[in-house]
Amino acid sequence: MDLSSALTNAVAVYRRRPADLLPFYVLGAAIPVITRALVAAVLAVAYVYLEVTGRIARVRTALSETDLGSMPDPEADPAAFQQWTDSLGDVLLPLADPVVLAALVAAGVATVVLTVLLSAGVSAGQYAVSLARLRDEGGTLAGIGGVRSYWPSILGLSLLEVGIWLAATFGAAIAITAASIVHPILGVLAALAALLGWTVIVICTRAVFAFAPVAVVVDDVGALGGVDAGLAYVRSNPGDALGYYAVTIATLVAVTSAGSVLAFFEAPSSLGLATLLVVAPGLDLVKTGLFGRWRGTIAPPDPPTRSLRASIRAGVGGSWRAMTGFVRSTLLTHGLVVALAVASFVLGWIAAGPFEEMVTASIVARLEGHLPPAAALEFFANNWTVALGTAFAGVVLAVPTVVAIWFNGFVFGIVFRLEADLLELVGFVVPHGLLEIPALVIAGAVGLHLGRSGWRTWRGTAPRIALADDLERAFRVLVGVGMLLLVAGLIEGFVSPYYFEFVRPVVEPIVADVLA
């Protein structure tokens, strides 16, 4: 299979049943949500420890006895701001307990380790999904099996590649140091030679290891077998391999350029969303198709039978029906999500009480420089990414989803308590919140539902295919959630920041009368 055919087949597979391809790529967005649950658990234990040892009480007493005043503007008066932060640091000093600091360090290390392990598992599932879809087989089910079968080999490949890079780096550093000791000019020459050698090693390693994980899945071999097979493919098909590298580099350049533009307009989340749902699966399908065809294990998939327009229309309609049907069938689950969110909001409101006079937030200040089109795109992309990650993280027994719901509600409670103009903030939130909040509640309910499905599969009371069906259904539901968030993002970008100045003269007296 040449590169052109591989690209064509990748597009065909992507268009046919994307709900059987993309769930495992969405799981990539769930990894940070899962690891944050670990950090949240450590923070909860640390809080209990500080409360039991009386350190929290000491901080509360110090806050009540110390007149810190409101936080100075760091730009207008840096000296006053520095003095204020120093005073606050003295008040919070009892929290800097060695046991707590050690726990936080351990949590950081555990987070890195867990991220590496989860990334290996998700990558194994993604390659298994790509291979299955190119064979016109069930992708999500194959992905679940791929995680169980190939994650150790994928992890071994990652560690082996990093080890090669580190060895090359240390070797270059030693050579430069030794040459510099002999003579400075030799040190300069050694640095140039070491840089060239290091670059060659890194490029060659990446070239081989690009196909090694595909080889692990296609050939069902271990890490070293994958390296051998990847090297064999590059040697046997240099033209196609170089073509894939060129496509990858061009894609990275395009993504980086687009990222720079979007970052300038403060809308970087859309690039991450596109990478998650389009770039990553596209590149995996291309290289899996190239290697699989070379091994003779796949055949060209059938082309899509519907036009792109018809496919989009069917996907939108099906996703909307999946979302509304899911809501109707899981009302109690949605009620639980709402209860969790409200309870955490109240706790956040209470927790922010001691800081109400010291720290203030302003929705007006946060909206300075607001550019409606870019803001609408950023709001939509960020919220949908959060919804995808929160929902799919629930497959780990629902715990990460519960933590995410609790954390977001807690933070919102703090923000609302510290807002300088609460009426202004409420007025800003209401128009888009009527769609955004229900959409995020649905995403939370999807996470809890996936947690129950994952638990049953883990216990062996439900087959893998049931979990695969639930993952595909979850993706379709979340596409429907994305539609709600798209409309909410447009409202938040173009309406929410501006309309309230016209209705405030009418609303403010009514609110004042009610509160009085």
Give the Cβ contact number of residue 286 at 10 Å: 25
Note the pLDDT tens digit of each residue in 340-362: 999 999 999 998 887 877 777 78
Q: Is 463 domain-assigned?
A: yes
Residue 435 sits at φ, ψ, to 5 deg, of: -105, -40
Strand, helix or coil at 450?
Answer: helix
Q: 338 and 261 share a domain?
A: no
pLDDT of residue 81 exceeding 80, the answer is: no
Q: 343 and 282 share a domain?
A: no
Q: 282 and 361 share a domain?
A: no
pLDDT category at 51 given cuts 50, 70, 90 is confident
Q: Looking at residues 448-468, what average pLDDT do you find?
A: 94
pLDDT category at 502 given cuts 50, 70, 90 is confident
Q: Is 451 domain-assigned?
A: yes
DSSP letter at 303 equals P
Domain-terminating residue out of 246, 270, 295 = 295
Q: 278 and 315 share a domain?
A: no
The pLDDT of residue 116: 96
Residue 373 sits at φ, ψ, to 5 deg, of: -60, -45
- Gap between the Cα atoms of 242 and 176, Å rounded: 32
pLDDT of residue 461 exceeding 70, the answer is: yes
Note the pLDDT tens digit of each residue in 301-326: 778 888 888 888 999 999 999 999 99
The pLDDT of residue 395: 96
Using a cut of 0.75, tell me whether the model's pTM lies above it.
yes
| Residue 133: CA count within 13 A, CB half-sphere | 32
Residues 365/431, Cβ–Cβ less than 8 Å? no
Listed residue (337, 453, 298, 315) closest to 22, CA to CA:
315
The pLDDT of residue 337: 97
Instruction: Determine the structural domain holding residue 351 and report its residue range.
Output: 306-515
Q: Which residues pair with 419 in a beta bridge?
A: 361
Q: 28 and 129 share a domain?
A: yes
- Gap between the Cα atoms of 457 and 454, Å rounded: 5
Query: Which of 22-26, 156-160, 352-356 has the least mean pLDDT?
Result: 352-356
Domain-terminating residue out of 295, 320, 338 = 295
Q: 333 and 363 share a domain?
A: yes
User: Any idea which residue has 């990460």 for tokens?
Assistant: 400
Q: Looking at residues 290-304, what average pLDDT do you find?
A: 87
Q: 29 and 149 share a domain?
A: yes
The pLDDT of residue 85: 81
Q: Counting beta carbons within 10 angstroms of the beta carbon of residue 200, is it exposed (0 to 12), middle (13 to 18) or buried (19 or more)?
A: exposed
Residues above pLDDT 90, as percent of the chain: 65
Q: Is 300 domain-assigned?
A: no
> Between 56 and 150, where is the model more confident?
150
> Between 65 and 82, where is the model more confident?
82
The pLDDT of residue 508: 80
The pLDDT of residue 1: 57
Q: How many helices (H) and strands (E) does the chain have?
A: 20, 0
Domains of the chain: total: 2
The pLDDT of residue 267: 85
Q: How far is CA 275 from CA 4, 239, 309, in A?
A: 21, 26, 22
pLDDT category at 36 given cuts 50, 70, 90 is very high
Q: 377 and 509 share a domain?
A: yes
pLDDT of residue 439 exceeding 70, the answer is: yes
pLDDT category at 174 given cuts 50, 70, 90 is very high
Q: Looking at residues 189-216, what average pLDDT do you find?
A: 92
The pLDDT of residue 362: 80
Q: 316 and 412 share a domain?
A: yes
The pLDDT of residue 302: 78
Q: Is 350 domain-assigned?
A: yes
The pLDDT of residue 516: 64
pLDDT of residue 281 exceeding 80, the answer is: yes
Q: Is 65 domain-assigned?
A: no
Q: Is 75 domain-assigned?
A: no
Note the pLDDT tens digit of each residue in 210-254: 999 999 999 999 999 999 999 999 999 999 999 999 999 999 999
The pLDDT of residue 325: 97
Q: Looking at residues 61-82, what average pLDDT do you find?
A: 75
Q: Looking at residues 396-419, what average pLDDT do you find?
A: 94
DSSP letter at 71 equals P
When mean pLDDT is compared over 47-61, 177-191, 423-437, the highest value belongs to 423-437
Q: 382 and 357 share a domain?
A: yes
Q: Which residues pair with 461 in a beta bridge?
A: none
The pLDDT of residue 501: 82
Q: 200 and 104 share a domain?
A: yes
Q: Is 360 domain-assigned?
A: yes
Listed residue (21, 99, 71, 103) closest to 418, CA to CA:
71
Listed residue (160, 43, 59) closest to 101, CA to CA:
43
Q: 267 and 325 share a domain?
A: no
Residues 291/218, Cβ–Cβ less than 8 Å? yes
Residue 285 sits at φ, ψ, to 5 deg, of: -65, -40
Domain-terminating residue out of 237, 266, 295 = 295
Strand, helix or coil at 97?
Answer: coil
